[in-house]
Amino acid sequence: MQVKLNESMAKAQQLKRKIDQFKALELLESKTKDLPTFEARAVKKRLATATAPEIEKQFDRVLESVQAEAKKAEEEAETTLESEIDKIVDSEGD
């Protein structure tokens, strides 16, 4: 009798973990559905193992971080492009 009870409790705990994981994934999908693809992927990657309450608590901070990194990368790319253009223009003047 005790063995069956223990088995049932273990199965119930496993089922609860799966439900919690599903809820977290569902919440993450709903929060990222309107984001640009790059941002959505980056946020999902960072919060992939988070629980639903952790996602609720951390989502805005993680999104801001991803957006700041994307902006910095874009600015660096623009600076590099401008530098390359300046080199080309300077070399044509010689």
d(CA 12, CA 91): 72
Q: What are the tens digits of pLDDT across the range 10-61?
A: 999 999 999 999 999 999 999 999 999 999 999 999 999 999 999 999 999 9
The number of domains in the chain is: 1
The predicted model scores a pTM of: 0.71
Q: Within 10 A of 8 (CB to CB), how many other CB atoms are there?
A: 10
| pLDDT one-digit tens code per residue, 53-92 | 999 999 999 999 999 998 998 888 888 877 777 778 777 7
Which domain, by its residues, includes 47?
A: 2-93
- Burial of 51 by CB count in 10 Å (0-12 exposed, 13-18 middle, 19+ buried)? middle
Roughly how many angstroms between the first and final C-alpha of the chain, as a whole number?
92
